[in-house]
Chain A
Amino acid sequence: MGVKGGLHTTGAKWFMIESQRHSYHLVDPSPWPISGSLGALATTVGGVMYMHSFQGGATLLSLGLIFLLYTMFVWWRDVLRESTLEGHHTKAVQLGPRYGSILFIVSEVMFLFAFFWASSHSSLAPTVEIGGIWPPKGIGVLDPWEIPLLNTPILPSSGAAVTWAHHAILAGKEKRAVYALVATVSLALVSTGFQGMEYYQAPSTISDSIYGSTFFLATGFHGFHVIIGTLFLIVCGIRQYLGHLTKKHHVGFEAAAWYWHFVDVVWLFPFVSIYWWGGI
């Protein structure tokens, strides 16, 4: 039922919560959906203007992205307040975020599958325009046994660290859980750093034939997902430090762990199919 009284609790709201006869959470009106819509509109229009060299495009794009990020932050902040501080997330309510997280990850799988389809389509039957071979003639490829091989144990080690964090939370070991999340994030940052270093050393670019396009799209989006997962885990680490995550209720952390395991597993596919098979 949440805390009775408090600085911002009105008598009417207290009465409403007390009189509730169901397990669900009837949310209060929120400004963030319209805020997110306006941010998306500004981002889209700003992006088009920027790509077409209209004056002010870069500014509008930047402001749109800032507004979108702000909306994400305050919206998730509100959800956190509703669940952790006000206690609205019963077992029934928790199913919503759980299903949402799983469906989001499934949609990401389909998203990334398209890149492997495009890459396989071009590499399995290379056209005569690029020399009839794969990689195309004149393309310098990265050695899969250098940095890519190095990233292959780093991400699974990070997955092991997040599993360590999960069990530490279940066992009620608060400090060990924070250390585990620090280890997880550190490994993620190392992995991202190596990927960035490799991009700067790469002999080809995104505009070097279909090879460059598919290579940088697949590895670039994986890298972007690593960054998103890292931010998610940083937020979980802060919340663990603040005491938000308990043995019984840590849905936000579970979503981050599911996402992180997904990102780890996905890395193996571009490593095998793009760096290894597609690069030699």
Chain B
Amino acid sequence: MASAAARSGLRSLAARAKATAAPAARRRMSSSAHDDAHETAKWEKITYAGIVTCTLLAAYNLSKGHPHFDEPPAYPYLHIRNKEFPWGPDGLFENKHH
């Protein structure tokens, strides 16, 4: 993703430079817009492919049940409580230690 972004950034910079440098600015502008239109369509297809992939993977993952964990032994380094949280005994995502 980062390299693709850098590449598209460099390409847009190069296109802009050509547009300003070339005497036939209108033609370059047109070809630049055409290239951007092609890139737009390409990335739209990539986005749709990504969304389909994520949907299938999500459906597969969520069709399985979530795992269950046994209560661990009371080791001293687990559930450290030097003092309570200001809002109560549990952390932000805990509802387990009552």
Contact = CB atoms under 8 A, between A and B. Distances in A.
Interface of A: 50-51, 53, 57-58, 129-130, 136-140, 143, 146-147, 149-150, 153-154, 156-157, 159-161, 163-164, 166-168, 170-173, 176, 180, 183, 187, 190, 199-210, 257-258, 261-262, 264-265
Interface of B: 1-2, 4-5, 8, 12, 33, 36-37, 39-40, 42-44, 46-47, 50-51, 53-54, 57-58, 61, 64, 66-67, 69-70, 72-73, 75, 77-81, 86, 91, 93-95
Contact of B43 (A129, A147, A160, A264): A160
B54 A53 contact: no
Given A146-B67, A208-B80, A258-B5, 4 more contacts: A147-B61, A150-B57, A163-B5, A261-B1
Interface of A is mostly: helix
A146 B64 contact: yes
Contacts, number: 129
A94 B95 CA distance: 49
B54 A153 contact: yes
Contact of A167 (B8, B51, B70): B8
Contact of A157 (B51, B72, B75): B51
B61 A136 contact: no
A58 to B, nearest CB: 8
Residue among A171, A190, A264 with the highest chain B CB neighbour number at 10 A = A171
Contacts of A183: 47, 51
B77 A129 contact: yes
A143 to B, nearest CB: 6
A153 B49 CA distance: 11
A171 B40 contact: yes
A50 B79 CA distance: 22
A202 B69 CA distance: 9
Closest 7 CB pairs of A and B: A157-B50, A171-B36, A164-B43, A203-B69, A138-B72, A140-B69, A209-B77
A199 B93 contact: yes
A188 to B, nearest CB: 12
A146 B50 contact: no
Contacts of A58: 86
Given A171-B40, A261-B2, A161 B77 contact: no
A114 B48 CA distance: 36
Given A50-B86, A157-B50, A139 B72 contact: yes
Contacts of A257: 5
A206 B92 CA distance: 9
A205 B79 contact: yes
Nearest to B34: A171
Given A159-B1, A160-B47, A257-B5, A173 B40 contact: yes
Contacts of B12: 170
A208 B51 contact: no
12 contacts: A139-B78, A140-B72, A159-B1, A164-B46, A166-B8, A167-B40, A168-B40, A187-B51, A200-B93, A206-B91, A261-B5, A264-B1
A146 B63 CA distance: 11
Given A137-B75, A138-B73, A149 B57 contact: yes
Contacts of A172: 33, 36
Contacts of A206: 91
